[in-house]
Amino acid sequence: MGAPALSSVGVAPARAGVTPMAYWPLVWRRLRRDRAAVAGLALVAILALLALAAPWLAPYDPAEQFRDGLTPAGQPLPSTLPEGSLRFLLGTDAVGRDLFSRLLHGARVSLTVGVLANLLTVAIGTLLGATAGYWGGWVETLLMRVTDMMMAFPTLLLAMALVAILKPSMGIIIAVIGLVYWTWIARVIYGQVLILREREFVTAARALGTPRRRILLAHILPHLLPTVIVWGTLGIATNVMLEASLSYLGIGVQPPVPSWGGMIQQGQAYYRTAPWLVVAPGVAIMLTVLAFNLLGDGLRDALDPIQRGRD
Amino acid sequence: MWRYLARRLVLTLPVLLGISIITFVLIYYLPADPARMYAGPSATVETVDRIRRELGLDLPLWQQYTNYLGKLVQGDLGFSYRKQTPVLELILSRLPYTAMLIVSGIFVELALGLPIGLASALARGRLPDRLGMLVALLGVSAPPFWLGLMLLYWFAFQIPIFPLGGVEHPTSIVLPALTAGLGGAAWYARIMRSSTLEVLAADYVRTAHAKGQSRHLVLWRHLLPNALNPIITMAGMDIPWFIGGVVLVEQVFAWPGLGRLAVEAIQTVDVPLILGTVSVTALIVVLSGILVDLVQSLVDPRIRLSR
């Protein structure tokens, strides 16, 4: 990354008695000292590893139904079998599938959708927000009115309708989340560009006759990087939650592919007799969202050029 | 202020128009055939064709849309295909339940979130702060529909204090409202904490302390009004999310609100009902946004309503 160029403008002017330090090493140092952020980073790394290694770590095929996977009465098996065996670590679901294997494979869906959909939302949001903020005029009016309209749209319903039309699959869900949820980032970026475009270095570049497109790409975009990184992390948490919500409503990734939201939906009918079917995937979602929230919060503090009086 | 209000209300019209166009186009491309859904599975091809013509579903997209708009202007939202009832009647019968859930959910958000955030900030760095923020972080991270199921399991099944669902009992609202509000309460607690900390560091608070004003007075006169400002801004941004969450909560608790109606409509390709529920939900979102802006301008005289 163009660290030197950034450090000169991304960091607040060095105060008296403070040794100036390059921007990115400073960010990394602050992040390392933030225990919550480090915990988040570690959790994200563990989850990513589990998702990647799911086919090798999972004891069974997530779709395999075991004949001995149900009680004689046809009920899901709890994890604590009377005979104390560890055949099914977390018990089985309503059709005798291994819950632990399904959880591990569910991580793949959650993280893939969370990360890829967020790349898309951040890309669309940054592009539209920056264009609207920098171009001004009718482009600004048009883009921001569209953003306002999209923000008023009941997004979950819009996503539902879209997924219903396009037939749910992982690619479609990623695309739909991307198309529906870019508005927040667009707003934030737009606000920042409005401030940035009045800064001296932009005026200077304009005075030198730099083309507008180049000013936007070479001078303004690098300053948006911290915002993009923070939203790029926090947004993953949001998207993991969204994917789970869509799956819970039955319009996520379709069975037999296991997804955490779908597992909660299927387990819901048994929540009185087999609560672990609902508890386990819920905890998995919570841990994943928590990990990205912790990391995102930490990044926000670490990337903030002026250390605010908080914490 | 009235001029501002009128202007904002007029500006919602293009937003609603845009939303109805998007919804209309989306439905047009639904793979399921609304005429077939209307006629039922046993109807002959001729019947389905006749129904398609009667409903105007054989017309080009733009003509269907202008027909719809023409009726809309007269307050006619059309007939639900599935329920054979006017859409407006269906929506009005569900609206009170959703309104109840929204209001009680927002109450939970504020009544839990603000005191926790304030207490956390005042006890900064000590045990109550750490505990409060840990709970808030977990609350932000837990999926609301899952929280709802957990509440049901513990407080309706294991310890049967509240009903398992439905609306018959007066305490029926408690668990859905908690479910709808807990996530938001956690957000508000976090924001309230940081905004209180910011105000605590402000010169005017130090001055107030220095001139010997009582802690009580400082809190109520200087701290709270200023710390609440970001909360109101946040409330404005939170509303679309909150209403999205309400759809899920209604699903968990079999709560007969608009969200469930909309989900049903989408699942059964009930075109007029989808259009109606989506538009009314959008209207609620837009109107609450205006309400939040008004409240903010009343609370903070620095903000003038001039956009």
Scanning every residue of chain A, which has its alpha carbon at the shortest distance from the alpha carbon of B150? A279
pLDDT category of residue A288 using cuts at 50, 70 and 90: very high
Which positions ≥6 away from A289 have C-beta within 8 Å? A237, A240, A241, B140, B141, B142, B143
The total of other beta-carbon atoms located within 10 Å of residue B179's CB is 29
Asked if pLDDT for residue B238 goes beyond 80, the answer is: no
Is B266's CB within 8 Å of A237's CB? no
- What would the pLDDT profile of B106-119 be if each residue is shown by its tens digit? 899 999 999 999 99
Scanning every residue of chain A, which has its alpha carbon at the shortest distance from the alpha carbon of B238? A151
- pLDDT, mean over chain B: 83
Please give the pLDDT value at position A125: 92
- What would the pLDDT profile of B62-86 be if each residue is shown by its tens digit? 888 888 888 777 777 777 877 778 8
Q: What is the mean pLDDT of residues A174-201?
A: 86
- What would the pLDDT profile of B271-295 be if each residue is shown by its tens digit? 788 888 888 888 888 888 888 878 8
Is B145's CB within 8 Å of A248's CB? yes
B residues 126..145 contacting A (CB < 8 A) = 137-138, 140-143, 145
- Mutate which: A148, A150, A156, vs B, most B CBs within 10 A: A156
Report which listed range, A112-116, B55-59, B263-267, is most confident. A112-116
Answer yes or no: pTM beyond 0.90: no
- For chain A, the structural domain boundaries read 43-54+97-308
Closest to B248 measured CA to CA, from B106, B142, B145, B140: B145
Asked if pLDDT for residue A71 goes beyond 80, the answer is: no
- A290/B134 Cα distance (integer angstroms): 11
Is B157's CB within 8 Å of A272's CB? yes
Which CATH fold topology does A43-54+97-308 show? MetI-like fold (1.10.3720)
Which H, E and C letters describe chain A, residue by residue? CCHHHHHHHHCCCCCCCCCCCCHHHHHHHHHHHCHHHHHHHHHHHHHHHHHHCHHHHCCCCCCCCCHHHECCCCCECCCCCCCCCCCCCCCECCCCCEHHHHHHHHHHHHHHHHHHHHHHHHHHHHHHHHHHHHHCHHHHHHHHHHHHHHHHCCHHHHHHHHHHHHCCCHHHHHHHHHHHCCHHHHHHHHHHHHHHCCCHHHHHHHHCCCCHHHHHHHHHHHHHHHHHHHHHHHHHHHHHHHHHHHHHCCCCCCCCCCCHHHHHHHHHHHCCCCCHHHHHHHHHHHHHHHHHHHHHHHHHHHHCCCCCCCC
Residue B7's identity, in one-letter code, is R
Please give the pLDDT value at position A41: 92
Separation in Å, CA of A3 to nearest CA in chain B: 30
- What would the pLDDT profile of A222-241 be if each residue is shown by its tens digit? 888 888 888 888 889 989 99
pLDDT category of residue A285 using cuts at 50, 70 and 90: very high
Among the partner residues B143, B198, B251, nearest to A285 by beta-carbon distance: B143
Lowest mean pLDDT among A301-310, B89-98, B129-138: A301-310
In terms of Cβ atoms closer than 10 Å to its own Cβ (0-12, 13-18, 19+), residue A149 is buried
